[in-house]
Amino acid sequence: MSENMIRYERDDEGIVTLTMDDPNAGANTMNDTYKAAMDETINRLEAEREEITGVVLTSAKKTFFAGGNLTDLQSVTPETAGEFFEEIEGIKAQLRRLEQLGKPVVAAINGAALGGGLEIALATHHRIAVDDPKIKLGLPEVSLGLLPGGGGVTRLVRMLGIQEALMGWLLQGQQRNPAAAQEKGVIDQLVGTREELVPAAKAWIREHADDETAAVKPWDVKGHKIPGGTPSTPRFAANLPAFPANLRKTLKGAPTKSPRAIMSAAVEGSQVDFDTASRIESRYITELAAGRESTAMIQAFFFDMQAINSGRLRPEGVEKSTVGTVGILGAGMMGAGIAYSAATAGIDVVLKDVSLEGAQKGKGYSEKLLAKQVEKGRKTQAQADEILDRITPSADAQDLAGVDAVIEAVFEDYDLKKTVFSEVEAVVAPDVLLCSNTSTLPITSLQEFTSRPKDFIGLHFFSPVDKMKLVEIIRGEQTSDEATARAIDIVQQIRKIPIVVGDGRGFYTSRVFGTLILEGATALAEGVDPQFIERAATQAGFPAPPLAMLDEVSLTLTQHIRAEAEKAAAAEGTTLTRGPGEELIDTMVELGRKGRAAGAGMYDYPAEGPKVLWPQLRERWGTGAEVPFEDLQDRYLFIMALETAGCFEDGVLTDAVSANIGGIFGIGFPPHTGGPATFMTNYEGGLAGFVARANELADTYGERFRPSAWLTERAAKGTLVDVSA
């Protein structure tokens, strides 16, 4: 089979065209078929070397090359690390032979070249790409907890210099289109169409037939110097002390191991010859691949996302649907944001509020966002106008007559929502999907008063809607599979990420998020230094720390949600215990410190300059109590993970994909953990190890960390979820 993966065609001028075309897959990846085919190909090139003028490397697929094989990468363990190292070295040796063939090799890049795909191209002597802004080139390994270990770090550092290679390309894994990549010196030449690619590559080879240097990489020439210098050159060394700070700024405090490994591979590799540098790079990728972080990140950002994109959360047997027009009820903060996102995705919107002025104000929000986009050159005025034209403000329910779906975002008031839905039901077609953006009202209770509860579903967007990618879809007791499938379709049409959860107080995301902010308040009440509380969270990888989040949510809303939970518990004949965290929040509210919107909370918000922690927090509650930094970080992660387990136990969650993706994209659970479900199962010692550590935390910090009997039983079985989506 291997001979089919790379077609070998030599023309009468001696130019060999290699066309990569995996017969068993839609895209080319670094699988066994590739490795065997590349080996054969290079043997043949070397054998026929004297008859060859040059080599063109291209692909018959839509993409040029998709990169490494993530299933293989995810399965590397400390025990198999040695084998993996050898394999990586084998793949790299092949590329090195191609690079040192002594004949010019040109990459004719017809489509996306990401990760291993771009690394193959970097091993050639000249890179030509189609000038299509949709084509993506880049090294996104960092987003999977890895590093470009196929020569990517070593070659890019030698081409661009350490700084330029690290920032953007290696540390942030930015993807660029061919024109932008050419500006950065990664692509050498552009052509207008795919058809022009191979002829242009052949033309370049012909032009350079007598130029021996065309087949030699700069780093294979004696005396080659890395652009911008290395740590041993004085100019570079002078900048080196600022590196860690820049790195932290670039990575916004995320504690992932891979950026550090990438930086080490780049800096260490810059001080030695190419082949030694390449081996250093292999050592680092092996270490990362065998570690827990990459396993978790590959799970979340590749396999979990793939499960969502391929429709595995979608009930089977329902035909895919699209909407032409949506009706949005309420043009406040959320309604206006949803209208913007829908219109941007090409959907017509009827944006209804009580008054036409109110609805127009909601449309004004889109105007503002679009004006900014035009100003930044991300959209043309014509594109912005087209999007705005899709939004029709209205104060008349009759205007909703033709919509395909309704998304309600009026005030959080049960009776108001009831009135609004009965008004809408009288106007819209009988099969229109009815969605509510409520953040706290149980979907089952709302659907009871509609005439067709099966078509009623929760669609929980996050604020600010234009930036937040997640939408939590909540099934009420009576919601049908068809409605669930249609809700997923709408969310995807709006280009957001859907997760599916069951009904319950706070659904999934708010319920779990509440435990994080309360844990921050609890630590404060214990006397822990507020700055320490915040820093522990940021350094654990949370995008925002708990006391700051408490201010964002507002202390009064937190109190209100708590009061509702207490009422519900009382109705069921139980009582919720109040902890020191809740009491501290009450005291703060009594002191008039209600949160950011009120101008004062855990932080002061001066008119000028950034917010600062309220100095009296330390004076009132600080006792100098010391909690080890790692314990505090574990408290945040565990309190959220344990609540996630509670959601599984209660049936609010049924799949690990929704738990992970909802945790990362909705409530900032640190991405390097792979999300709350993976955090539990990937913990050292597996789920049993997680349960053991939770018990330790419970012994030291309180019963809220005690795993439930259900979870303990699951840990004994070794699985969190029976059926994973």
Which string of x and - marks every residue 34-63 that binds ligand NAD (by CB under 6 A)?
------------------------------
Q: Rule CB under 6 A: is residue 511 a binding residue for ligand NAD?
A: no
Number of residues that bind ligand NAD (CB under 6 A): 23
Please pick, from the candidates 334, 350, 617, 637, the single residue that binds ligand NAD as defined by CB under 6 A.
334
- Contact of 593 with 602, CB cutoff 8 Å: yes
Minimum separation from the CB atom of position 492 to ligand NAD (A): 19
Residue 468 engages ligand NAD in binding (rule: CB under 6 A):
no
> Would you say 353 or 489 has its CB closer to ligand NAD?
353
Query: Between 507 and 621, whose beta carbon lies closer to ligand NAD?
Result: 507
Alpha helices in 448-526 (DSSP H): 481-493, 509-525
Tell me which residues in 266-295 interact with ligand NAD (CB under 6 A). none
* 551 three-state secondary structure: helix
Cα separation, 678 vs 641, in Å, equals 9
Q: Exposed, middle or buried, 698 (CB in 10 Å: 0-12/13-18/19+)?
A: middle
Closer CB to ligand NAD, 469 or 618, in the complex: 469
| 342 counts as binding ligand NAD under rule CB under 6 A | no
Binding residue (CB under 6 A) for ligand NAD from 92, 103, 176, 352: 352
210 binds ligand NAD (CB under 6 A): no
- Residues 368, 373, 376, CA angle at the centre, nearest 5°? 125
CB of 553 to ligand NAD, least distance (A): 9
Residues 406-425 contacting ligand NAD, CB under 6 A: 409-412, 416, 420
According to the binding rule CB under 6 A, does residue 725 interact with ligand NAD? no
Name the CA dihedral angle for 123, 128, 134, 138, rounded to a multiple of 10 degrees: 20
Helix, strand or coil, per DSSP, at residue 579: coil
Q: Which stretch binds ligand NAD (CB under 6 A): 166-174, 353-361, 534-542, 569-577?
A: 353-361
CA distances for 184 relative to 188, 236, 269, angstroms: 10, 20, 21
141 assigned to active site: yes
Residue number with the smallest Cβ distance to ligand NAD: 332
Stretch that binds ligand NAD, among 120-128, 210-218, 350-358, 590-598 (CB under 6 A): 350-358
Three-state secondary-structure class, residue 20: strand
Residue recorded with tokens 């002829």: 199
Q: Does 1 bind ligand NAD (CB under 6 A)?
A: no
Which residue from 227, 228, 315, 332 is in contact with ligand NAD, where contact means CB under 6 A?
Answer: 332
Token pair recorded at residue 103: 């004949």
User: Exactly one of 20, 98, 122, 329 binds ligand NAD (CB under 6 A); which one?
Assistant: 329
Q: What is the residue type of 256?
A: T
Evaluate whether 342 touches 392 at the Cβ level (below 8 Å): no
Question: Which residue, 439 or 660, is less far from ligand NAD as judged by CB?
Answer: 439
Within 10 A of 236 (CB to CB), how many other CB atoms are there? 19
Which region among 181-189, 328-336, 363-371, 670-678 touches ligand NAD (by CB under 6 A)?
328-336
How many angstroms separate the Cα of 663 from the Cα of each of 48, 87, 624, 674?
55, 35, 32, 9
**Which residue carries 């004004």 as its tokens?**
364
Neighbour tally for 347: CB within 10 Å: 21
Q: Using CB under 6 A as the criterion, what x/- string covers residues 426-455 for binding ligand NAD? A: -----------xxx----------------
| DSSP H/E element including 47 | helix 32-47
Nearer to ligand NAD, 353 or 534 (CB): 353
Q: Which stretch binds ligand NAD (CB under 6 A): 181-189, 457-465, 588-596, 688-696?
A: 457-465
Peptide bond into 241 cis (omega under 30): no
Among 293, 353, 551, 634, binds ligand NAD (CB under 6 A): 353
Q: Which of 67, 111, 358, 668 binds ligand NAD (CB under 6 A)?
A: 358
- Could you give the CA distance from residue 573 to residue 576 in angstroms, rounded to a whole number? 10
- List the catalytic residue out of 87, 119, 408, 472: 119
Catalytic residue among 51, 87, 89, 141: 141
Q: Which is nearer to ligand NAD, 291 or 458 (CB)?
A: 458
Q: How far is the CB of 338 from ligand NAD (least distance, A)?
A: 9
Closest CA to 266 of 223, 224, 221, 231: 231
| CB contact set of 400 (below 8 Å; sequence gap of 6+) | 327, 350, 352, 394, 406, 424, 427, 428
CB of 543 to ligand NAD, least distance (A): 16
Closer of 269 and 337 to ligand NAD (Cβ): 337
Among 346-354, 363-371, 522-530, 578-586, the segment contacting ligand NAD (CB under 6 A): 346-354
C-beta of residue 637 within 8 angstroms of C-beta of residue 679: yes
Min dist CB 724 to ligand NAD, Å, is 28
Report if residue 527 touches ligand NAD, rule: CB under 6 A: no
Inter-residue contact 165 to 184 (CB < 8 Å): no
User: What is the separation, in whole angstroms, between the first and last Cα of the chain?
Assistant: 33
- Out of 306, 309, 463, 719, the residue judged to bind ligand NAD by CB under 6 A: 463
Among residues 159 and 405, whose Cβ is nearest to ligand NAD?
A: 405
Q: Is residue 356 a contact residue for ligand NAD (CB under 6 A)?
A: no
Q: Which is nearer to ligand NAD, 119 or 472 (CB)?
A: 472
Cα separations in angstroms, 706 against 678, 710, 711, 712, 717: 19, 11, 10, 10, 18
**Token pair of 475 as six digits:** 């099934």
Does 328 participate in binding ligand NAD (rule CB under 6 A)?
no
How many angstroms separate the CA atoms of 244 and 639, rounded? 31
Q: Of 131, 106, 129, 122, nearest to 204 (Cα)?
A: 106
Should residue 398 be labelled a site residue for ligand NAD when binding is judged by CB under 6 A? no
Check if the beta carbon of residue 123 is closer than 8 Å to that of residue 99. yes
Under rule CB under 6 A, residue 506 binds ligand NAD: no
Beta bridge partners of 209: none
Active site residues: 119, 141
What are the residues binding ligand NAD (CB under 6 A)? 329-335, 352-354, 358, 409-412, 416, 420, 437-439, 460-461, 463
